[in-house]
Amino acid sequence: MSTPLSPRRPLGSSGLDVSPICLGGNVFGWTADLDASFAVLDQFIELGGNFIDTANVYSGWVPGHHGGESETIIGRWLTERGVRDRVVIATKVGMGSGTFDKGLSREQIRRGAEESLSRLQVDTIDLYYAHEDDPATPLDETMATFDELVSEGLVRAVGSSNYAADRLREALDTSARHGTVAFTAHQPRFNLLDRDSYEGPLEQLCRERGLGVAPYFALARGFLSGKYRPDQPLPTSGRAAGVARDYMNPRGWRVLETVDRIAAGHGVSQTQVSIAWLLERPGITAPIVSATSPAQVAELADAAAVRLSREDIAALDAAGAR
């Protein structure tokens, strides 16, 4: 019997086959404690999911945290459940937060990989992202270091995150020129409302070069789930102020109204429509979405089965247009 999160999708030319939903690990150790995190992870693989995303800095922004909390919880789960061979683990290096310095120098990448491997309790990182661009370090040095990690078997594939199109192109060309490992996946900020940084040159480049794309903030930090309304108090989450600043405006309400209408027409949730729109986008492999309960995981898994019509997609596109 098939599961909601099957079949797998190839993640570009990485050699990794992943579920159509990637489980975001930024909440582990933050809004989801150890037990809640284990319950979410258990439900995810039970429903056929295999793609889990984290970063060394998660959750260094929380008072009293240092970063590494998410990786540590995932590592405990992998070991206690004995499921390492059933999952694709993606983590990141290079963003400054908590006790971690920004940068993609050889020293920082190698130290970051060794520390992540230890916290995750694995021998190999399946997908290792450059979390953000580092203009201060030559791309030759960055890509040569990633090449070392792959050659040594510490990393299987590498990806980029938060790169502008020109810098991503330069990184890919640097790898081709020197014969080093190249980025095979990209992680942009992209959803029905955050579209400017991905649509256009970056999306075209990812499709031209065959990169797998796993967008983050797939639900616009929860706004597209429908829990924010113009006539209701803000949720008590730590993200509420930022959501209000960025999305609670005429364009945001216009998009949410369209999502509401289409969700009602399909008998599904706003979350599922918002994710389905991403999955219908050519070039998108697996949106990254976080969950703090098994029920939320089930809702995300069901989103992979939602099929939007061309009219639905056109309406959503138009609602979010600037």
Question: Where in the sequence numbering do the catalytic residues fall?
Answer: 58
Distance, in Å, from the CA atom of 291 to the CA atom of 25, rounded to the nearest integer, reads: 8
Burial of 183: CB neighbours in 10 Å, binned 0-12, 13-18, 19+:
buried
Within 13 Å and on the Cβ side, how many CA atoms surround 74? 35
Q: Count, in order, helices (H) and strands (E) of the chain.
A: 11, 10
Of the candidates 180, 171, 93, 80, the residue with the CA atom closest to the CA atom of residue 132: 93
Provide the 3-class DSSP secondary structure of residue 52.
Answer: strand
Distance, in Å, from the CA atom of 172 to the CA atom of 169, rounded to the nearest integer, reads: 5
Q: If you search the block for the tokens 């290079």, which residue do you land on? A: 94
Distance, in Å, from the CA atom of 254 to the CA atom of 56, rounded to the nearest integer, reads: 36
**Structure-token pair, residue 164:** 């502008």
Helices marked H in the chain = 34-46, 69-81, 106-120, 139-151, 165-178, 201-209, 240-247, 250-266, 270-279, 294-303, 310-320
